[in-house]
Amino acid sequence: MNCNASLHGLYCHVCGQENVEPKQSAWHLVSHFFYDITHFDGKFFTTVKDLLVKPGFLSREFISGKRISYLHPIRMYVFTSAIFFIIFFSLYDVKHLTESNNFVVNGKGIDGAKKQALANAKSKEDSIEIERAFSGFKNSPSQGSTESSVKSRNRSVVNFGKSNEQYTSVREYDSVQHALPDSLRDGWFRKIFQRKAVALNEKYKENTKEFFADWGEAFFHNFPKLLFISLPLFALLLKLLYVRRKQFYYADHGIFAIHLYIYSFIALLFIFLIKYVKDVSSWSWVTWISVAISLYSLYYFYKAMRFFYQQGGFKTFAKYVILFILSFFMLMTLFMFFFVFSILQI
């Protein structure tokens, strides 16, 4: 026993430790692991069932103190998010999806997007800028490409600053900066991005495809961090929307947000699995299942807000729309931040 007391019976009368055989089988350890994570004694399945069919119910039960019958929200969030990303990265090879630089933009591809942008150009200067912006992408086979155009394209794969092409290495950039007077040197913020831009130009100067593949892979592997950071921000938006409801603390909004995220993981997991089944079986009808899940999810979020916060239908719908708009801008901001952050990681 941990307390070194004499043992009488199945449990220690001093510290409560269970009297078990210290040498356990591998199967016992595995089953104990899953039990500790999910409580497969019925609590896990009860929680999932009530989460999916009773929007807002689990959050209401939790803040009311009725918690013993359900899995803790944080434990369930960790478990479902882990399963979600394990299956997601197993189904989709992110680097394979991004390794081709023949990207599709609005279903038209790079060439189509370029033509559309040129058609909307209002001046000769705009056309020149558009040509320059699209020069880093590979031309389509129908257009062809000469050896000189390929060399020109490979001259600079990544161009964050206008003067990056004149530096062949980070060492050269640092030498030039060191030689300049303090008043002409780049500031610390610009210096970080300039050094990274020069390093990327040096690393990927002849392989645009590899750059976008590495960038995409870094971003998608940062996606769990993005969602984790967005969760407390989403709870803050709920706090602002229901600031007059004094009975709800920020932690209560956080619990509600966690349950919504858990539901989103489960719904998205089903949608990804359905898409995978469609891809391998060519059963087009399964797409309707994904559509049904998406429509139910829109209803689910509204119903969860109305049940949890106990407000009328019109007020709830108005706040539902506002929350959707604010969440969209919040996620777009985080997306932009992590796009830049992903570049700094490669």
User: Could you state, in chain order, the average pLDDT of each consecutive group of 10 residues for the chain (346 residues)?
Assistant: 66 68 62 59 81 93 87 89 84 54 43 59 65 52 41 43 60 79 79 80 74 76 87 94 91 94 93 85 86 94 95 94 94 87 76
Q: What is the reported pLDDT for 283? A: 82
| Selection from 160, 135, 134 nearest residue 150 by Cα | 135
* Measured distance CA(85)–CA(66) in Å, rounded: 30
* Measured distance CA(182)–CA(53) in Å, rounded: 64
Instruction: For residue 1, give the DSSP letter.
Output: -
Please report, for the chain, how many H helices and E strands are present, in that order.
15, 0
| Selection from 293, 267, 343 nearest residue 48 by Cα | 267
Q: What is the reported pLDDT for 128? A: 67
Q: What is the reported pLDDT for 137? A: 47
Q: Which two tokens stand for residue 264?
A: 């989103």
The upper half-sphere exposure of residue 219, i.e. CA atoms within 13 Å in the direction of its Cβ, equals 18
* Measured distance CA(203)–CA(197) in Å, rounded: 10
329: number of Cβ within 10 Å? 9
Answer whether 346's CB lies under 8 Å from 200's CB. Answer: yes
Q: What is the reported pLDDT for 45? A: 83
Answer whether 147's CB lies under 8 Å from 184's CB. Answer: no
Give me the residue label for tokens 């992903």.
342
Q: What is the reported pLDDT for 223? A: 83
Q: What is the reported pLDDT for 216? A: 74
